[in-house]
Amino acid sequence: MVILDNPGAREDREGDPFVCGTRQTFQQAIAETGLDDKLFYVTYILKRKPVRKYDKEQARDICMRRHLDEQLGTYRPDLILCLGNVAVQSFFGNPELDVKGLRGSWHRVNGYETTVAYHPLAVRRRPNLYKLFLEDLALVKNKLEQD
């Protein structure tokens, strides 16, 4: 299972969980790593793109308890990959954490084997992160091959 922060306007409008630059960057890295994109179920902390000012912490907490917990129970993922700081902080339940400090290893979070990587749009904007993104997907691939 891949967890992102929230869908963008196009994802929200089209009902496709993964479009535009996010999808392109992620699919390119998956292909380069040799992973099968059918292995990934993509979901979000927030289920809709926010359209106006809102209480971020409250919205994330509600969505985590109501929606993400239900998805976890339904899909029972073997592994979770959190992409970006918002997904990391929300899923790990700690606003002080970041991808930079956690990437490259596995963590047990809420009973799930979890790893983290930079958000694909951050990778797209900062091409120097792409190598690290590939390393993190290779970590996922190695774990899947071990199981």
* 65-122: pLDDT as tens digits: 667 888 888 899 999 999 999 899 989 999 999 999 999 999 999 899 999 999 999 9
pLDDT for position 68: 80
For residue 119, the one-letter residue type is H
Interatomic CA distance for residues 124 and 26, integer angstroms? 10
Cβ-contact 112, 80 below 8 angstroms: yes
* 16-32: pLDDT as tens digits: 555 566 788 999 999 99
2-146 CATH fold: Uracil-DNA Glycosylase, subunit E (3.40.470)
Q: Is the pTM of this model over 0.85?
A: no
pLDDT for position 8: 59
Residue count of the chain, please give it.
Answer: 147
